[in-house]
A = this chain, B = another copy of it.
Amino acid sequence: MYEKILIATDGSAASMNSSRSGIKLAKSLGSEVLVLYVINEMAISRVIASMIGRGFRQEDLRRALKASAEKVVSEVTKMGEAAGVRVEPIIKEGDPASRILETAEIEGVDLILMGSHGEGGISSKLIGSVAEKVLNWSTAPVMIVR
């Protein structure tokens, strides 16, 4: 059951925590794992806008974001290796919720696992907007780990 689990992460402490749960679950169920990091397009645009005219180079930002994404997915991949779980890393750019849903669809995953909050942090006890969108639109079961 749950042969292909999609773990969505953004590198936040909470989401690394939920990634650990995902790997553990995959190990128990013998599932394959895809780990997805979405570089948030809107966030990039905002940073770029704030840096215009300050001698800032767009490609440096993109390179730094890419490197940070790679670091996160490689951490989860290593968690998988340590547990004997096959993990395929995926990095995309765009709106996080849309890319998560799209990836789940394309890859035919049968469970999406994600944290309740991303980098935006915890506002009271409410779940984050990305988790909410994924919950609202996913046809596959979604597991939210705090």
Contact = CB atoms under 8 A, between A and B. Distances in A.
A126 B137 CA distance: 7
Nearest to A18: B141
Given A126-B136, A127-B135, A135-B116, A143 B142 contact: yes
B146 A144 contact: no
25 contacts: A1-B24, A2-B25, A18-B141, A21-B141, A28-B28, A28-B29, A29-B29, A116-B135, A125-B136, A127-B135, A127-B136, A135-B135, A135-B144, A138-B146, A139-B146, A140-B146, A141-B143, A141-B144, A141-B145, A141-B146, A142-B143, A142-B144, A143-B143, A143-B144, A144-B144
Q: Which of A135, A136, A146: most chain B CB closer than 10 A?
A: A135
A140 B144 CA distance: 9
A77 to B, nearest CB: 20
A114 to B, nearest CB: 10
A110 to B, nearest CB: 10
Interface in A122-139: 125-127, 131, 135-139
Interface in A93-141: 116, 125-127, 131, 135-141
Nearest to A139: B146
A136 to B, nearest CB: 5
A140 B28 CA distance: 18
